[in-house]
Each structure stands twice: as C-alpha cells, then as structure tokens.
Structure 1
Amino acid sequence: MIEMTIAGRAKDLGGFEVRRVIPVAKKRQVGPFVFFDHIGPADFAPGEGIDVRPHPHIGLATVTYLFDGEMDHRDTLGVEQTIQPGAVNWMTAGKGIVHSERTGPETRAAGHRLHGIQTWVALPSEQEEADPSFFHHKAEELPVIERDGIWMRLILGSAYGEVSPVKTFSPIFYLHMESKAGSVFKLTDEHEERAVYIVSGELEIDGLLFGAGQMVVLDNEASIGIRTVQDARVMICGGAHLPGERFMEWNFVSSRKDRIEKAKTDWQSSADAGFENSVFALPPGESEHIPLPES
C-alpha cells in the first residue's frame, strides 16, 4: 500500500521553523503538488512577526492554509488579503506575479502563534502562461465532511462526494482532517496519486505506525484504511499526475528550463530598473524585494 515515507526537513528561518516535505530527490510531486511546507507552530512575542519581502512566481498556484494565527498577503494585482485559520488563499502566478506575506500591525503588536501549511500546485502546460489571479475563500465556504470520530474540510478539488469552490486547473484534492483516537476511515480512491501528511498525532497505515512530520505516499491502486492511534491532525493531498516533467528553481516552476532562466533574468532586470517599466513590479505599498539568490 505504501510507496514511500518522507520525513520533513526542518529549517530555521530566524524566529520560526519550517519543515519542508516535498520536493525530495525521489519524489518531486504528488499529483500536481510540487512543494509542501509545514510552518511552525511558532510563538511570536509582542512586536515580532514574519516579513516575507516581495518575491516573484511563475507557472504555479500557491495555496496558504492556517491552523493558528494570521498573515497579510499583498500582490501586484493590488490584492490585500488577511488569511485566518480555516480559510484558503489561492494565488495563480501564471505568467508572473509578485507578492509579500507579513504579520499585520495589530497581530504583531499583540503577539501570536503561527501554524499552517503552504503548498505549490503546478499548472498544466497550457495554463502556465495564464494571467495571474487571486482568490480568497472563507472557512465557512469550504465543504465539511464528518464520519464517526472524523472531521474533514475540503480545501481543494473533489472528495467524498463534495466539491470545493476554489477554482483549480487539473484533477486535485486537498483535505484538512481532525481524527479521534480509535477512529477508522477509508481514504478516497477517486484520485490517481495520494499522500497523507501527519501534522500531529499518530496513524496506523497498512499495519505500520507513523507520527508527526511524516508524509506517507500511497500506492495508486490500493484501497487504504487508516486508523488513528492518537488524536491526529492530518493533511491529505493528491490528484492527477501532470504530463511531462516540471522544473523548479527558487520560486519558479515550469515545464521548460528556458522559461525559468527567462524569469530569473526578468527578476534581476526588474530590480535593476527599480521595478519601473519592467516585467515584474512590486505590490502597492511595498518598497523591498528578495534578490535573486545568485546575486
């Protein structure tokens, strides 16, 4: 039933920890998911917070989902959106977008806990150069699925007869699950590729125990039953495998290596031009940016 297990790799970003799960050398994607980061949990004292300066993306959609805290998003479309627990921010980069993520002034002043998941979804090759867009959906807009001892929120796509309102570009599913010890459920089998990431707690899958910080990638053909050993918080994701290879460098994803090279050049030349009359621009109200790593 189990194709492989991936242990998230912790990285200290200065005041908080991010655990990167995919990509890894032997698993570049699960369905269209090409990047999966577990943020925190991190406790910020009053006056502290995160400041992810403006940076570019192409060829993907970013998905932000929080368990605790909040984050302010700004982008070059002029969108300013605070995301809170249970809601979803879906940003389609397409041919190119720049955004920042910061702790808002009131939250920063009060102190807070930040905990959540950020993922990147690769776009089908025919959509990689789509116009950028941004959609926010409140928690109450997303379908909830309940079984004995099981609660699930459908963030993206379709599963268990429900469909998320978030507009996506290929077959996909993404679930937040809370399960009580002793509960058993059958994993949806309507999608080609599937993986289970354990945020907290412990699960039994195919007779083996798995704990926090592990992603279990499951066989495409198997009918999977999962038992909760200790109360657990779990993210379940997957979907159809996109045809062709996807290349990823820094914040760029594309089916073409030359397109990534162009994006790198465009970011550097935009910065050199002070983001005036250039390919990339800064979000309104922003004056900083993250330099291209090579520079």
Structure 2
Amino acid sequence: MDSQSSADLRRQARVAVYAIGGNALSDPTSRKSSKEVLEKVMDDIINLLEAGYRLLITHGNGPQVGDLLMLEETCLIERSRVGLDEWVAATQGMIGHTLSLNLESHLSKKHRPERTAVVLTRVEVDKSDIAFASPTKPVGPILDEDTIARMDWDIATTAHGARRVVPSPKPLRILDLEVINSLLELNAVVICAGGGGIPVVLDGAPKGVAAVIDKDRVSALLACDLKADLLVFSTGVDAVRRDFGLESEEVIREMDVDLAQSLLNEGQCPAGSMGPKVEAMIEARINSKTVNIVLCQPGDVLGAVRGDCGTQLV
C-alpha cells in the first residue's frame, strides 16, 4: 500500500478523545498513586485502539498542580515565584511523561505500532472572564486547619474536606490544535491539553495567566474541533446518578440534554464532583450532534459505548 493510501485510511479511522481525571493519577484524599486505576485506564486505551480508534488523551492535574503550589509556598521561599500557568505546564510534562511511559509499555506488550506524543498545549481564555474574580477549581491536597490559617489562599469545602481553589475560566480556543491533529494523522496516540491546557490570553502574543482550566470542558472543545467520533469522560463514579447515596438512588444509563440540565439545576451533580463533567457533556452535544458521548469508570469504556454500563448522552 502506498503512503498516500495509508494516509487516507488514517484520516478515515474513527477518532476518540479519552479524558482522564486527575485523581486517577493521584488521589487527594490518600496522597497515593492510584496504580490500579491507571492500569484500568491503560486497558481502556488499548481496547479503543484495538476497536479501530485513533486516540487523543487528556488528563486533569488538580491534585498535582496544587501540590506544586504548596511546595512553592512552603519550601521555595528564597526563590522568585513561578506563575500558576507555568506550574500547569510543568504538570503537563510530568503527567504526560508518566502516561507516555505506561502506555508505551502496554503498546509494546500488545505488539501495536502506535507511539505516543506529549504536546505542551496552550488554551486561550478571556482575561475578563468572571472566573478570575470567583475561584472555584479545587487543587492540591485536603488541608488541615493549621495550613488554612497560615496560608493566604482561597479555600472551599469539598466532599472530602477543605481544599485550595483557583480561577477556572472558560476555554475559548486550543492554540496548538493543528499540531495535535498532525500528530494524530501520523498515527500517534496524542497526550494533550493536560490540566485543561496552559491558560493564556492573547495580548499580541500569548501571555500566561493564573488559572487552571477545567479539563472536561477542554476535552469537549477538542472533540468538537477535531470532529471526534467518541468522547469519553473517565471518572471514579461508574455512572451519573439521581439521589446519590439515598434509598431512592437511580442509575442513569442514558440521558438527553434536557435531563442532564435538569439534574444540574436540581443540584444532583455538584460543582465539586460530577457537575463539570455533565456540563462538558452538554457543551459537546450542543456543538456536535454526531459525537458519541459517554461517562464511565476506568475499565468500562467498551461497555459504556455499548450502553451496558456508564452513562450516555444522546
């Protein structure tokens, strides 16, 4: 087969965006690496490749970037402070490296031809976004009272305890989209938009700003921009649920935009947990009528695509 025919086949292959939660790599409640969860993530990725998809992998960085901020505040007092955007870039490199090493090992064991590429990804935000005045994105570990008293941070109470919060503006445009697409067409498994992307504003040239963009919203934007066939939100919860933890708890296997929005309005999907994922699912559906959108826990991706587990947004 000539190179032109090979390129045509690659362009015709289905494309999937697989979004990994930051807690799959480091649990803020235990501060331990979630190796078992990461193995299931790798299984999902291999299964999607073997099902004929080309893969874009995004990941969160909330626990990791918060740990770096705390390190800077407590241990690096003598040096000049690094901007939050630079710490986001650092986590893209660190987490991308970890994912790449793990995935290359699995690809080799399966005798697959793909190789990984990690892309430092910048994402444009609006400098006037109201999120800068109202930090909501939890980062770092659970904080004790002594740390809260010592640090001049914005703090919010999450389901597991108090955590630092930082601004999380809406992503407008992925600046490195063409590079990502070019690598995808070369049959690479592309790890990109880590931690929601490095937040920048365009003031002539791109300029970094202090924020952490929501990874799920960027994943939805990426899937729509590249006309992906599948968008997967991999999370620690097996499905969207109504009345979670109550006797009336109901697993929702399939929902449309109206039902998803009503769940948000009812407070069924809190801002600190399922809320951003459901919001991102809605955004993806509004901007693409063809992408298959699923939410599931690591290891369940093929079952979720079939509708046997997880939640689909139709």
TM-score (structure 2 length as normaliser) = 0.28
TM-score (structure 1 length as normaliser) = 0.29
